[in-house]
Amino acid sequence: MAAPVKSMDKPPAEFSPLNFTSFQKKSRTKSLSIPGTRPSVQNGQLLVSSGVTSLDYLLGGGLAVGTVLLIEEDRYDSFSRMIFKYFLAEGVVCRHELFVAAAQDDPDDILQELPAPILDDVAIHRPGEQPRMSCEPQDTLDAMKIAWRYQNLPKVQSALASSSRFGHYYDVSKTMEPEIRQAAKWHRFYHPEHPPLSSGTHSPKLESYSALLKSLRDVIQREGFDLTAPLPKSRNILRVGLHSLGSALWGDDLCCYNNPKNVHALTSFLYGLRALLRTSLSVAVVTVPSHLIQDRALMGSITRLCDNAIALESFKGSERETNPLYKDYHGLLHVRQVPRLNCLASHLPDHKDLAFKLKRKQFTIERLHLPPDLSETVSRVSKGELAGAATAAAACSSATSSAKHLDF
Amino acid sequence: MLGNAPSFTMLSELLQGTDVGGFLLIQDSCSYSGRHLLKSFIDAALNREEVVHVLGLDVSEEELKEGLKSFVFQRLHFHDAYADPLGWTDNSPFTVHQFSSSRLTELLKQTAPSKPATLVIDSLSWVLRHISPTAVCHTLQQLKKGGAVRTIIGLLHEDMHSRGIVGSVCRLATSVITVEPGTKGEEALAKITKRSKSGKVTQDEQIFSIRKDLTVTVLSKPTNPGHKRSTTEEQVDPTANLTFNLRLTDAEREAKEKLALPFVFSKEKKTALLHSGPGSGKILYEPDASDDYDQEDPDDDLDV
Amino acid sequence: MFTELNSILNTSPESFTPGEFILLSDRQSDASFLIHHFLSFYLKARCKVCFVALVQSFSHYHAVSQRLGVSLTQAKEKGQLIFLEGLKESLSVFLPQEENAGHQAMSFLRDPAAGLRSLYEFVQSSVVESSGGGGASAEQWGPPVLLMDDVSVLLSLGVRVGAVLDFSHYCRTTVCSQLQGNVVMLVRCDGEAEEDDADDEGSEQLMRGLTHQSCLTLHVQGLPTGYCRDIHGQVEFCWKKRQSDGQHAPKKVFQFKVHDKGVSFFARGTSRAVL
């Protein structure tokens, strides 16, 4: 299957133009099945996979077409960059088109670093089968002699997964073969290649963002992702990846000052991005170095202009790294916002205490729980410490925690 | 408690409007609107046969007159700056940029040339959003001195401005009433600061409620002025409803104190034990350098 | 339309208080579900509705309204609903193309410092012509209603807090006072309630200013004790004016849960999940 690119001047054959909505109901999507998409079980929205299965599950099945996922970067941008690459790799494997924009690294380089897909992975990673706990091998679980009362209890399943498989698995230790990568059709926007033009407008926009928005709009219109125009016969999804928006390299001073001059530049851009995506067959992932943005209110308005928002908090360089509570994980994941689109009730995660870890080959998001306490001496020393850490985790997961207050 | 606490409550004193040439400021916040109290002041002034001019920016004429008795309307003049304060729709009798003492005096003289009137500004916050605070303060000061105005009553949403601006306006006021929501129902708390011409400052806190006919009922003083209301929650006495007796009557106490407790020795026996008589032995021990002391705590393995 | 909310507010599409400015606000939570209630409520009440949608597309509101039993496309065709889709109009301002220069109402995007007079003029023309020139249209509609979702996004687009407050003041004078209609606005802010940043230009300041203008506020918050799957938060109802029966109950708090086709409200601690 070649990359389905049709030029705009080709008349639409038998499809009637869908001219006001980008979100089709299940019945309507039958006519336009796009590879790598599926309708949401909850509200019939068209979803694509983010490339990380556990993240898909967390976000209610996947990313809805026409929405923006905001990732607040971890301090060293290592894990957020990984999710970013997963998202693009999933696009390559599903033969979606890509639009990659960055100011720091050349988009070409980012593409070369994409993780390798595990294409015959079905047998290896059945979602029902979770990595076993080292202390309880499978056969002893089957027939318990002493702790037989626990026999029928369900196994602890900490990794988030849904019953049906969607998206692919990737091996982060290898990079994608060039043949697969080169088959993908993609567009690039490397900020240093777009020198700023001088203009006398005193609008809140920034040159770099305006150029980016314009470039994205041109791609959407030229390649036939625009839903307001008659669509070409075969449709595809455009995956938009915007790396490290708001950083100084984009010419933005959000991170540099407490009262930045271009305080509305990024939010205006995100508003425009939202407008563009809502009328097109595209989905975007935006990463923002939020730990550099001092103004929390500004971060709030950035979040509200995106649909999904998650924040990664890596333990690297924080005092949590040495905390025994977190020894199994690489960082915490906070769900800042869930999308509310075409429905009244939005998908809410079961709980908000989530952590992520990078296994040898795979990045997963799991429920945060205490590690099994195996040795007696260790337990003695760390008990008080753990309790302190647990309350700290509870405090940061809930909005406010007052010990006295009870809601019910 | 203040030493010279007025026998009459300060709030009702202010409502009677005895001071001429004053500037009364009502400060409110999001949690409780000061407009009800403002209307009570308007009502009180009208009842004293005074002429009242209202400069309405935040409030429409209907909304302001709601609740006031209609027979006093002839003495109430509403200057509508609510409908078009910025001149967007070109039907404005008064825009916010006309807020100056000369223009306001002119307005007051149009209708009541004879007698100084009460000027009500609802609200100063609207004005302060568009005119520089220094100009507003100048205007207020000139109005106060000008003679055309008997009293100025202003409403200020204090949470809309920086502390400096609020402070500058408060400095001009002769009395400041800060209203806050009360602990229950319709009650509200008023913190009153009044400066007399001699420079004496009186402060008070009062709980009040406003009835439907706009009369103000002063209920009480909060029990602990200066303390936060939230801390005055009822202290529950844990010994109140017990199934057993924790208290002693005097007779019971006396009986209790008479009782000799076991192992309490008499004075004689104590001295006999402490100062042993002659003939008894003593152990003297001087520690040696080679004595083996156990450095470790023998109870180390106990989890206590 | 959520019937439980109607009974809390003591209204119904057949009889509601005209001339009210209703503010929907939230803090670290999402109050946008309330906009859907008021949209369907006023459409069912046969009011002429002008909806300025800044953060969501028409298709979103259409899809949700359908679940609540109201068709927005029909209302639009009948002339009952005037829908300004901010997202769509903004694109023609951000990325001007030859054929159209964008809706006049959204011209503030070009120069946010100039204020929102153009947006007000759009609102005014759409509500005034409904009540004034009623002869031409086939159906007669009730008092006009202005709905706006998330006005705080205007701040993100560079508009000053004062300009938004001026705009809302004019909407109030025109719709509530002159035409005896209603205004419903949504404002969102996050961050803790702080006392000492009154001069801060932000959504907090905007929310306070709008609260002073409103006569009824519905404030949505998360639970103070943290996240819960079965109770999505609590709404604080706050009346500024005395209600018609003389009862002056300034505040009521209910907890809520959003479902697919509605929202259930319950008194604190009486959620079905915990009883």
What pLDDT band is residue A4 in, cutting at 50, 70 and 90? Answer: very low
Q: What is the pLDDT of residues A57-105, one digit of tens each?
A: 888 888 999 999 999 999 889 899 999 999 999 999 998 999 999 998 8
Can you list the domains of chain C with their CATH numbers?
18-190+201-229 (3.40.50.300)
CB contact under 8 A, A217 and C225: no
Q: How many CB atoms lie within 10 A of CB C77?
A: 10
The alpha-carbon gap from A352 to the nearest alpha carbon of chain C, in Å, equals 7
Q: Measuring CA to CA, which residue among A371, A380, A363, A351 is closest to residue A312?
A: A363
**pLDDT for residue C114:** 86
What's residue A31's pLDDT?
Answer: 45
> Are the CB atoms for A194 and A90 separated by under 8 Å?
no
The more confident residue out of B270 and A380 is B270
User: What pLDDT, on a 0 to 100 scale, did the predictor assign at position C65?
Assistant: 93
The mean pLDDT value of chain A amounts to 76
Q: How far is C40 from chain A (nearest CA, A)?
A: 13
In a mutational test of the C interface, the residue from B30, B82, B212 whose CB has the highest number of chain C CBs within 10 Å is B30
User: Residue C246 is which amino acid?
Assistant: G
Summarised one tens digit per residue, pLDDT across range B119-154 is 999 989 999 999 999 999 999 999 888 878 889 999
The second-level CATH assignment, the architecture, of B10-232 is 3-Layer(aba) Sandwich (3.40)
- Report the pLDDT value the prediction gives residue C236, as an integer from 0 to 100: 93
- pLDDT per residue as tens digits for the range B21-31: 789 999 999 88
Work out the burial of residue C92: count CB atoms within 10 Å of its CB; fewer than 13 is exposed, 13-18 middle, 19 or more buried: middle
Please tell me the distance in Å from C178's CA to the nearest CA on chain A: 34
Position B257 confidence tier, pLDDT thresholds 50, 70, 90: confident
Residues in chain B, total: 304
For residue range A155-170, what is the model confidence (pLDDT) as tens digits?
666 666 665 668 888 8
Query: In degrees, to the nearest 5, what angle opens at C-alpha A242 toward C-alphas A239 and A247?
Result: 175
**Per-residue confidence (pLDDT) for residue C25, from 0 to 100:** 94
Interface of A with C in 321-380 (CB under 8 A): 340-346, 348, 350-352
The ipTM estimated for the assembled molecules is 0.91
Kindly determine whether residue B125 and residue C169, on different chains, have CB atoms separated by under 8 Å. no
Q: What is the pLDDT of residues B159-213, one digit of tens each?
A: 989 889 999 999 999 999 999 988 777 788 999 998 888 888 888 888 998 888 8
pLDDT at A314 over 50: yes
Query: A394 pLDDT exceeds 60?
Result: no
Ordered by where they begin, the domains of chain A are 32-124+155-375 (3.40.50.300)
The pLDDT, as a whole number, for residue A318 is: 78
Which of B30, B126, B186 is closest, CB to CB, to C248? Answer: B186
Identify the band that residue A133 occupies on the pLDDT scale cut at 50, 70 and 90: very low
Q: Give the chain B residue nearest C206 (alpha carbons).
A: B160
pLDDT of B240 higher than 70: no
Maximum separation of any 2 CA atoms in chain C, in Å: 62
Residues of chain C where predicted confidence (pLDDT) is lower than 50: 132-135, 195-196, 198
Interface membership of C246 toward B (CB under 8 Å): yes
* Chains sharing 3 or more CB pairs under 8 A with chain B: C
Contacts of A342 in chain C (CB under 8 A): 59-60, 63-64
Q: Is A32 exposed, middle or buried (0-12, 13-18, 19+ CB in 10 A)?
A: middle
C242 interfaces chain B, CB cutoff of 8 Å:
yes
pLDDT reported for residue B235: 61
Q: HSE on the CB side for C261, CA within 13 Å?
A: 5
CA-nearest residue to A268 within chain C is C157
pLDDT in tens, A271-307: 999 999 999 999 999 999 998 887 778 888 899 999 9
| Model pLDDT, residue A2 | 36
CB neighbours of C121 closer than 8 A, spacing ≥ 6? B88, C104, C105
| Res. A33 pLDDT band, cuts 50 70 90 | confident
Domain spans in chain B, listed from the N-terminal domain onward:
10-232
Sequence-ordered alpha helix ranges (H) in A173-287: 178-183, 207-222, 265-278
Over 50: is that where the pLDDT of A6 sits?
Answer: no
Count CA atoms within 13 Å of residue B150 on its CB side.
17
The pLDDT confidence band at residue A16, using thresholds 50, 70 and 90, is very low
Q: Do B83 and C178 touch (CB under 8 A)?
A: yes
Q: What tokens does C152 get? A: 């705080």
Whole-model pTM: value is 0.80
pLDDT score of A26 more than 50:
no
**A150-206 confidence digits (pLDDT tens):** 666 666 666 666 656 688 888 888 888 888 888 889 999 998 888 766 554 445 567
Taking 60 as the threshold, does the pLDDT of residue A135 lie above it?
no
Nearest by CB to residue A204, choosing from C158, C204, C222, is C158
